[in-house]
A and B are shown apart, each in its own frame.
Chain A
C-alpha cells in the first residue's frame, strides 16, 4: 500500500473526526442540523459504493432501500410503539436486507443498462406501492416518525432542536463511524478483493473460480442493508417519511453524490455527501433553482472529472483505491 496515502489518512482522519465531534459545541444550530442528513446519507453511500465503486454496478433504484428503512422507522414508532433507536436501526437493516435478497437475485443477472433499468423499475414499484396503498402508508402525505429513545433513554423532555443537535447528533455520528469501520473491514477483506476482480474483468474472475453472480448478490444485499440503516437514521430529523424517498430521481441523486466525491475511493462518497448537502443548502438559499446548478455540476463532473473530487486531488488516482 502506498505509504503516503496511508500517512495522509492517518493525519487527516482523526482531525476530521475531532472536528465533526466538536461541531455541536462550536457551530450554529443550523449547520449542526445540516450534518444530520449528511451522516445518514454517509451511511447510505458507504453501502452504495460497495456496489458502485467496488463491484461496478450502478443502481438507479437504491433509494428503494432508503425508503424501506425510513418507513420501517415510521411503522415501528407509530404502529408498534417501539421507540428504541437501536431496535429501529437493526430492524431497518434486517428488513432492507430481506427485501433486497430477491430483488438482488433478479437484478444481478444483468449488467450495465439493464441492471440500471431493472433497479429503476423496482424502485418505482416500491414508490407506487407507498403512494397508492395510502391506508397503510399514508399515501403522498406519508407517515410521521416519533422521536426515538437513544440507548433506552426517553429524551422527550428536551426541545426538539436540542435533541437533534445534541444527543441525536452524537448518536448518528457513532452509527456512521461504526458503519464506516465495518465497511472498511469488508472492503479490505478477501471478499472485497473478489468484488474488485468482478468489477475489473468478470470473465477473468470466473476463470479464477469466483462466482460472479453470487458476489454481486452479496454486495447488493449489504449495500441495501446500509441504505436501510441510513434511511432509518434520516427519518427522525425529517420527522415525516413520504414516498418521494423512493422516487427514481432520489436514486439518481445518491449516485450523483457518490460520483461527486469520487467512487474510486473509500472516503470519496462521504465527501460527496457532505459537499452535496452543503452545496445544495447554499445554492437553495441563493436561488430556488438548485437543480439547474446541480445538473450542470453533474454534467461537468461526468465530462471533465469522472473521478470526482478525490479523483482530482489524487496524484495517482488508482493508488487511492484502498
Chain B
C-alpha cells in the first residue's frame, strides 16, 4: 500500500514531466526541484493555516491549494528562461533546466533553511484503517484517490477540451500546429505551468507523510526519470503505468532487500532503454 501511495505521488510528478516533454520536447530536470518547492511551501501553508486557527481536519485544503498555486513559478521559469532556448539544441535546453535545478536548490535553502521541516503527525488526524491486514493511514488513501481523480481530469482535459486537442496536436506535429495558427508561446507557457503545478502538487501532497528535506528535489528526478522511461516518454498512460511499476517495485524491494531498492529501478531503466526504448506506451525512440 505504501507502494501505491508513493506511486500516486510519482504519477503526479511524472505526468508533469510527460506533458512538458510531449509538447515541448524538453526533459525538465528541474521537475524534482519544483516537487521540493511544493513540499516546502505546503508545509509553510499548513503551518500558517493551523496557527491562524484553521480546523486541522481540513488541512488538506490549504495544502492542495498551496501546492497548485506555487506551480505558477513554473510560468516565471518558462517565460524568463526556457523560452529563450526553444530553438536551440536539446542539450542546451537540458542544461538550462539543470541551471534551474541549481538555482532552486539554493533558493529553497535560503528560504527554509537546511533542516527538514514537516507537519509532524498532522496527517494522522484522518485516522487509520486496515487493508489486507496492514494499518494504512487514511490520508494516504485520500492522496491516492486525489491522484486518480487528477489522472482522470487530465485524461478529460486531453481528450475533451479544445486546449487538450491543441496539446495533442502540438505533441504530434509542432510545425503543422503552428501552421494552423496555434500560438506556440502561449501553449508552451500553459503546458509548462501545468507540468510544474503537477510537480508542486505532488510535493505538497507527500509532505504530511514525510518531511521536506533539502535533498528531495535532486533525488526525485531520478525516480521520475525512471517512471517516464519505463512508461514511455511523452505518454500520460505511460506516466500512470510507470509510476505504478516503480512505486510498487520499490515497496517490494524495500521489504525484501532494502539495499537494492533503487538499484533494481535503475537496472530496469537500463533494461528498458536497451530492449524497448519506447517504454510501455511511448512513441518513436531516438
User: Given A132-B259, A133-B259 in contact, is the A302-B96 Cβ separation under 8 Å?
Assistant: yes
Interface string of B247-270 (1 = CB under 8 A from A): 000000000000111110011011
Residue of A nearest to B228 (CB): A117
For the complex, give the distance between the alpha carbons of A306 and B93 in Å: 11
For the complex, give the distance between the alpha carbons of A113 and B92 in Å: 11
Residue of B nearest to A115 (CB): B286
Residues of chain B within 8 A of A299, CB atoms compared: 81, 96, 99-100, 103
Most central of B99, B103, B218, B274 by chain A CB within 10 Å: B99
Contact of B102 among A132, A291, A302 (CB under 8 A): A291
Contact B88 A306 (CB under 8 A): yes
Contact A114 B225 (CB under 8 A): no
User: Given A113-B286, A117-B225, A120-B225 in contact, is the A295-B102 Cβ separation under 8 Å?
Assistant: yes
For the complex, give the distance between the alpha carbons of A116 and B222 in Å: 12
Q: Which of B104-112, B121-129, B149-157 contacts A (4 or more CB under 8 A)?
A: B104-112
User: Given A111-B286, A125-B270 in contact, is the A291-B106 Cβ separation under 8 Å?
Assistant: yes
Contact B109 A289 (CB under 8 A): yes
CB of A255 within 8 Å of the partner chain: yes
Residue of B nearest to A111 (CB): B286
Contact B98 A112 (CB under 8 A): no
A222 to chain B, nearest CB (A): 20
CB of B76 within 8 Å of the partner chain: no
Q: Count A interface residues, CB 8 Å.
A: 41
Contact A132 B266 (CB under 8 A): no
Contact A117 B229 (CB under 8 A): yes
Contact of B99 among A133, A289, A302, A306 (CB under 8 A): A302
B86 to chain A, nearest CB (A): 11
Interface string of A120-133 (1 = CB under 8 A from B): 11101100110011
Name the interface residues of A110-160: CB closer than 8 Å to any CB of B.
110-118, 120-122, 124-125, 128-129, 132-133
Residues of chain A within 8 A of B91, CB atoms compared: 58, 112, 116
A-B contact count (CB 8 A): 124
B149 to chain A, nearest CB (A): 30
CB of B90 within 8 Å of the partner chain: yes
Contact A303 B81 (CB under 8 A): yes
Do most interface residues of chain A lie in helix, strand or loop, or is the interface mixed?
helix
Contact A58 B94 (CB under 8 A): yes
For the complex, give the distance between the alpha carbons of A291 and B217 in Å: 14
CB of A20 within 8 Å of the partner chain: no
User: Given A114-B285, A255-B95, A291-B105 in contact, is the A128-B262 Cβ separation under 8 Å?
Assistant: yes
Contact A106 B222 (CB under 8 A): no
For the complex, give the distance between the alpha carbons of A249 and B106 in Å: 14
Residues of chain A within 8 A of B286, CB atoms compared: 110-115
Do most interface residues of chain B lie in helix, strand or loop, or is the interface mixed?
helix
Contact B277 A252 (CB under 8 A): no
For the complex, give the distance between the alpha carbons of A120 and B266 in Å: 10
Residues of chain A within 8 A of B96, CB atoms compared: 298-299, 302-303
Contact B90 A113 (CB under 8 A): yes
B40 to chain A, nearest CB (A): 16
Name the interface residues of B58-88: CB closer than 8 Å to any CB of A.
81, 84-85, 88
Residues of chain A within 8 A of B84, CB atoms compared: 303
For the complex, give the distance between the alpha carbons of A133 and B29 in Å: 27
Residues of chain A within 8 A of B273, CB atoms compared: 106, 110, 114, 117-118, 121
Interface string of A156-182 (1 = CB under 8 A from B): 000000000000000000000000000
Contact of A295 among B103, B218, B262 (CB under 8 A): B103
For the complex, give the distance between the alpha carbons of A312 and B260 in Å: 47
Contact A114 B110 (CB under 8 A): no
User: Given A58-B91, A58-B94, A256-B98 in contact, is the A117-B106 Cβ separation under 8 Å?
Assistant: no
Contact of A128 among B85, B98, B218, B266 (CB under 8 A): B266
B270 to chain A, nearest CB (A): 6
For the complex, give the distance between the alpha carbons of A296 and B106 in Å: 11
Contact of A302 among B95, B106, B259, B260 (CB under 8 A): B95
Residues of chain B within 8 A of A58, CB atoms compared: 91, 94-95
User: Given A112-B91, A121-B269, A132-B263 in contact, is the A298-B98 Cβ separation under 8 Å?
Assistant: yes
CB of B205 within 8 Å of the partner chain: no
Contact A110 B92 (CB under 8 A): no
Contact A106 B274 (CB under 8 A): yes
B20 to chain A, nearest CB (A): 13
- Give B contacts to A, CB under 8 Å: 27, 29, 81, 84-85, 88, 90-92, 94-96, 98-107, 109-110, 218, 221-222, 225-226, 229, 259-263, 266-267, 269-270, 273-274, 277, 285-286
- Give A contacts to B, CB under 8 Å: 58, 60, 106, 110-118, 120-122, 124-125, 128-129, 132-133, 247-249, 252, 255-256, 259, 289-292, 294-299, 302-303, 306
Q: List 17 A-B contacts (CB under 8 A).
A: A58-B91, A106-B273, A112-B91, A116-B94, A247-B218, A248-B222, A249-B102, A255-B95, A255-B98, A292-B103, A292-B106, A295-B102, A295-B103, A298-B98, A299-B96, A299-B99, A302-B95
Sort A-B residue pairs by CB-CB distance and give the 3 closest, nearest first: A295-B102, A295-B103, A298-B99
